[in-house]
Structure 1
Amino acid sequence: MADFRPRRSVLYMPSSNERALEKAKSIPCDGLILDLEDAVAPDAKAAAREAACAAAASGEYGRREVTIRVNGADTEWHDADLAAACAAGPDGIVVPKVSSASEVQTLADAMERHGAPDHTALWAMVETPRAILHAEEIALASDRLTVFVMGTNDLAKELYPSSSPGHVPGRGPLLTGLSLALLAARATGTAILDGVYNDVRDTDGFLEECRQGREMGFDGKTLVHPSQVDGANAAFAPSDEAVEDARGILRAWEEGQQVDGGSGVVTYQGRMVEALHVDTARRTLAVYEAIRAL
């Protein structure tokens, strides 16, 4: 867990908006996605590309993980976006609608060809039924791919629900897809970010979806507005109670190992503690320390 990187809050920012790019330098999010896709009009794509790449290369965003979302491979802007992003060397390049292992391999080859530095990772957006069904293969297709980003709006569109899943409490229509993507991420050691919550006025709904995503196992949430950052940061960080519980488990375990040559099971506050609980406690503390280090 020494190399754990917090991604509690990853905020989309339109790269065509100079004020937004400047404001992003002071927003307390863990990561930024400088967007060239949905948030940018066709006639502004070229200027947005230049602005995003300049921002990513500037070094002015402090500890924040800075990524660039390029336009999809089926668009006229994709090749130029990818080449420019590779040259800028952000922390990651986010690609929409990645649906197969072969697409990942093509993207990784192109990043190598365009001279992307080793630290520039590939983030794949999982937002189609095909991607969900092949998520494990996608994750294993290249070492460049380190993060899944759930594209819940596009996934919802392709499911043909009777009403918008974004307004269904509990996100019932999406749960199968979210769970399958999570299983693939955990099976392959890939980080995974939950999708966006569209209604920025609905704070209670947003916080409830953060809680659900955290309980499911997501590493963090993608956001559409700076007002959502604090809520995501709190939701995806270990609580004070969880940190104290983890410390207590580790103390009990260490004490148990010093008695009669050690034991595979100890008790803590009346609960049985095994090695798997110790691993969870260590991860909780690693996440806590990584957040404190920010």
Structure 2
Amino acid sequence: MSAPTSTFTPLRSVLYMPGSNERALEKAKTIPCDGLILDLEDACAPDAKDAARALVCAAAASGEYGRRTVTIRVNGLGAKWHDADMAAVAKAGPDAVVVPKVNGAAEVAQLVAELEQHGAPEHTKLWAMIETPTAIFDVREIAAASDRLTVLVMGTNDLVKELYAEHVPGRAPLLISLSLSLLAARAAGVQILDGVYNDVKDAEGFLAEATQGRRMGFDGKTLIHPSQVDPANEQFAPSAAAVEDAQGLIEAWDAGSGGVVTYKNKLVENLHVESARRTLTMHEAITALQG
């Protein structure tokens, strides 16, 4: 399912930023990523969480991040900071609240109720992190649990830990989990982000994993370092050749007047036209983001 141009939001590169680091939050205003996750969970020590909450909420409410999608990752359900996080984030009104370890549809309903209870504006959506075996088994129900949930975020580091698996090239231990989550996202009509790549000095390994994620069907990738932004943007955007082909195919289809249509010696069917239109939708949205 592809969104119309007016509502499609590119999320090729979504960068985690530590919420307790004021300099990092300032630097994020200049990084050419599509989205930011200002982090109150893993990136913040327990004694820094209260100060970090104030920092990220002020940042999200500032309007100083341009066209970037600005989200805040709160501490998860059951954590002692969760309630205060949700109340403050709802008031700040970021584009979304990112919640770790969402394990079922009932938890989605609870999180949506919390946002509403604390008066979050309608534009503040819910992003659910999928990072446990329980979540994988229930991911279809999670993805479809609420219209307010618009993105699934793969927490691949936690998944590897929970599975007692290893990080290996090609990610064989994770392929079932990644594929099931993709199926759930597409069935529900929500976007889905691939997990992080941990070795920030391994540009070749990052590129291989980003390429794999794009080929699988992910909308983009979560990142842990600014050096990963440009290659992610390139990988998850339609190439110039793909845009040209999409335009040519649609022109051939429109000129066919309902008859048999071929483009570059290949039969064109409606499914090819839908894919081509999605390519152009993505291209137009990315162009607008960069403008």
Alignment TM class, shorter chain as reference:
over 0.9
1:218-239 superposed Cα distances (whole Å, 9 cap, x missing partner): 0000000011000100000000
Report the counterpart of residue 4 of structure 1 in structure 2.
8
1:35 paired to 2:34:
no
Structure 1 length normalisation: TM-score?
0.96
Report the counterpart of residue 292 of structure 1 in structure 2.
287
Query: What are structure 1's unaligned runs of at least 5 residues?
Result: none
Report the counterpart of residue 78 of structure 1 in structure 2.
82
Structure 2 length normalisation: TM-score?
0.97
1:208-256 superposed Cα distances (whole Å, 9 cap, x missing partner): 1010000000000000001100010000000011111111111111111
Report the CA distance between 1:195 and its aligned residue. 0.3
1:101 paired to 2:101:
no
- The counterpart of 2:71, out of the listed 64, 67, 72, is 67
Report the counterpart of residue 214 of structure 1 in structure 2.
214
SS in 1 for 2:102: coil
Equivalent position amino acid for 1:266 in 2: V
Report the CA distance between 1:143 and its aligned residue. 1.2
1:178 paired to 2:171:
no
Report the counterpart of residue 147 of structure 1 in structure 2.
151
- The counterpart of 1:16, out of the listed 5, 20, 24, is 20
- The counterpart of 2:117, out of the listed 113, 122, 125, is 113
Equivalent position amino acid for 1:31 in 2: G
Q: Which aligned pairs between 1:176-255 and structure 2 lie closer than 5 A?
A: 176-255=176-255
CA distance in 1, matches of 2:155, 2:191: 15
SS in 1 for 2:38: strand
1:37-63 superposed Cα distances (whole Å, 9 cap, x missing partner): 000000000000000000000001010
Q: How many percent identity over aligned positions?
A: 70
| Aligned residues between the structures | 285
CA distance in 2, matches of 1:174, 1:128: 11
SS in 2 for 1:34: strand
Report the counterpart of residue 140 of structure 2 in structure 1.
136
- The counterpart of 2:56, out of the listed 52, 58, 66, is 52
Report the counterpart of residue 91 of structure 1 in structure 2.
95
Equivalent position amino acid for 1:241 in 2: A
Report the CA distance between 1:136 and its aligned residue. 1.1
CA distance in 2, matches of 1:110, 1:240: 44
SS in 2 for 1:97: coil
What is the root-mean-square deviation of aligned Cα atoms in Å?
0.7
SS in 2 for 1:12: strand
Report the counterpart of residue 278 of structure 1 in structure 2.
273
